[in-house]
Amino acid sequence: MTTRLIFLGPPGAGKGTQAKLLAEILKIPHISTGDILRGAVAQATPLGQKAQAYMEKGELVPDELLLDLVRDRLNQSDAQNGWILDGFPRNVSQASFLDKLLQETNQTCECINLEVPDEVLIERMLGRGRTDDTPEAIRTRLDIYHNDTAPLIGYYRDRSSLRVIDGDRPLEDVTDSLKQLVVS
């Protein structure tokens, strides 16, 4: 069985943690755009060199370049039996590109949204003890999420490919729900 999943959810919802755990269970790659970017830069690929120029200036890597990197990553041999995308797409235009890419390669995917109330997210992120997790920075990240990324929930719901998981539970319970969803 081929499993292709997109993990959505606000910052602090546990997307990365759950994606890693599920990827290990399913023996498919957990693909994070941050890892793709760092890997391409470290390997000094042509796309990586382009991305590095933006990253060194502290700028966001443009969508087109990110899309090319994602296309390359999804075409690698370890991703042929499935993958979990974490951190991509971040907006509806990226989702639309991903749809086209998947159609070109005769692939389909499902989207899983980890729902967690904002007050729980704020509490979680403040508890992580990271220096960039200040109350102001957390509110800014949540605002960006609600404005740019949250519209993806409707986008995937309209395509009947959205599954929702309550992320406001103990880690093991969320993982169990994800396993049941994917294996069923």
Tens digit of each residue's pLDDT, the chain (184 residues)? 789 999 999 999 999 999 999 999 999 999 998 888 888 999 999 999 999 998 888 787 888 898 899 998 999 999 999 999 998 998 999 999 999 999 988 899 999 999 999 999 999 999 998 888 899 999 999 998 999 899 999 999 999 999 999 999 999 999 999 999 987 6
pLDDT of residue 184: 65
Q: Count Cβ atoms within 10 A of the Cβ of residue 160 and give its class: 0-12 exposed, 13-18 middle, 19 or more buried.
A: exposed
Q: What is the CATH number of the domain that holds 114?
A: 3.40.50.300
pLDDT of residue 19: 96
What's the rounded Cα separation, in Å, for the pair 152 and 145?
Answer: 10
What is the number of helices (H) and of strands (E) in the chain? 9, 5
Cα dist from 78 to 27, 39, 166, whole Å = 9, 15, 30
Other beta carbons within 10 angstroms of residue 125's beta carbon come to 21
> Which token pair is 92?
């509806």
The sign of the dihedral angle between the CA atoms of 39, 40, 42, 48 is negative
Encoded amino acid at 41, one letter:
V
CA angle 103, 105, 106 (to 5 degrees): 60
Write down the pTM of the prediction: 0.88
Domain that holds residue 112: 3-183
pLDDT of residue 87: 84
Task: Give the side-chain half-sphere CA count within 13 A for 96.
Answer: 6
Q: In b/e form, how buried is each residue of 162-177, taking b as 16+ CB within 10 angstroms?
A: beebebbeeeeebbeb
Query: Contact at 8 Å (CB) between 76 and 31?
Result: no
Number of domains in the chain: 1
